[in-house]
Amino acid sequence: MSANPPSSGLLAWIGSTLRLAVFFPFTAVILLVILIAALVSPKTDLYYRIARYWISWGLAINGVKVKSSGGEKLEAARHYVILANHRSHFDAFAIPRSIFHVETRWVAKRELGDIPLFGTALRKTGQILIDRKDHEQAVRELKASLNRRGCSVVFFAEGRRAPTTALQPFKRGGAAFAIDAGLPVVPVAVSGSEKVLEKHSLVVRPGTINVKIGDPIDVSGMTNDDRAALTDRVRDEIESMLATMEPRPAEQPAAEAVGA
């Protein structure tokens, strides 16, 4: 991983190191508290209320601000399937920060469950861990989650962090899950997180992450045959939102024709 001071800028590297020296111990302590809350009161949202402090303080410690719009479209009492693009680990902080009134569960790769304390906290708080290489296991886990205490589920539709700001192909699992569960799909666009923490980097830079919440899409009457069309629709809407959030390079004037 490239945490080389000269390539990242010495000051940026020092600042990031100091922030992370505070963030990681803080995270270890609060994850333990979250785990205890989930064990003591598994049928309530106590753990999530504590997790909100982790998110808010985690962003503040790292000098990251979140600007969002559209959160008012989601009702606290309803459940949704949220499909978002993915550029940085900080997306997992920025998205819930934008919709604190909505309790969320996350679909994450199974390997995260092996991380000491963090993995245990993921499992005990009901996060959905799937094996990307085992499609049948992933389907079983997603279906099993339908029977747990209701909440909104977040998918990173690209499956992993994108290497550039260009949208990658979307997986269809989120759309299939929404149709099976009968839950509205919410497109969410995230911009700027790739500047806070680049892929394959350990240097966290203060900055602003912008999040835009799209209109919920009703899946009533849809079947698994509609999952491809629903996935494409969500991708188009996220791409459209990103186009309004990120300035595009000015078009270059066409070169004069030779001999004109």
Local confidence pLDDT in tens for the 260 residues of the chain? 444 444 458 888 999 999 999 999 999 999 999 999 999 998 888 999 999 999 999 999 999 999 999 999 999 889 999 999 999 999 999 999 999 999 988 887 788 888 888 888 888 888 888 776 665 666 666 666 665 656 788 999 998 898 888 999 999 989 998 998 889 999 999 999 999 999 888 899 999 999 999 999 999 999 999 999 999 999 999 999 999 998 765 444 444 433 43
Tell me whether residue 28 is in a domain: no
236 in any annotated domain: yes
Residue 8 falls within a domain, yes or no? no
Q: Please report whether residue 40 resides in a domain.
A: no
Query: In this structure, is residue 258 part of a structural domain?
Result: no
* Rounded-to-integer distance, Cα 239 and Cα 246, Å: 10
HSE, side-chain direction, 13 A CA sphere, residue 153: 32
**Residue 7 within a domain:** no
Domain of 168 in residue numbering reads as: 64-245
Q: Residue 179 belongs to a domain with what CATH number?
A: 3.40.1130.10
The whole-number pLDDT of residue 87 equals 95
Tell whether 235 is covered by a domain: yes
- Output the six-digit token pair for 11: 């000051």
Structurally, how many domains does the chain consist of? Answer: 1
pLDDT at 256: 42
Q: pTM for the whole thing?
A: 0.85
Q: What is the pLDDT of residue 203?
A: 92
In a domain, 219, yes or no: yes
